[in-house]
Amino acid sequence: MEILEAYDLTGSFRAAAELAGCSHHTVAAHVAARDAGRPIGASAPRSRVIDGFLEKVEELVERSQGKVRADKVHERLAASGFDGSERSTRRAVAEAKTAWRAGRRRVHRP
């Protein structure tokens, strides 16, 4: 039996979990997602500590034509108030470089 169908039938998290064969915590999460209008089973996007500095990271990658190193980007961001870890910066620089390269990839046609 489907989780939400079992809950609608019984009106109880524990009884619905018994019918659906899952935890009552799972039933509660599904019901809360349905009531909030979110897709069921989908995780909510979380913000990252570097989100406020992504424009600066992209600018540095663009200016250096994809050659800038993440440790140098981290130094600049730290000087401008970024308090995240160097690992967060490395991830963001890697994503920015990948996007920068994807937009400039040559296409060879025979």
For the segment 53-97, what is each residue's pLDDT rounded down to a tens digit?
A: 999 999 999 999 999 999 999 999 999 999 999 999 999 999 999
Q: Are 60 and 98 within one domain?
A: yes
Burial 6-35 (b: 16+ CB within 10 A, else e): bbeebeebeebbebbeeebebbeebbebee
Q: Are 56 and 31 within one domain?
A: no
List the structure tokens of 78.
């730290």
Count of domains observed in the chain: 2
Does 44 reside within a domain? no
pTM: 0.63
Does 110 reside within a domain? no
Range of the domain at 63: 51-102
pLDDT beyond 90 at 105: no
Q: Are 28 and 58 within one domain?
A: no
Does 94 reside within a domain? yes
Q: Are 69 and 29 within one domain?
A: no
Helices 54-63 and 86-102: crossing angle in degrees, nearest 10, is 50
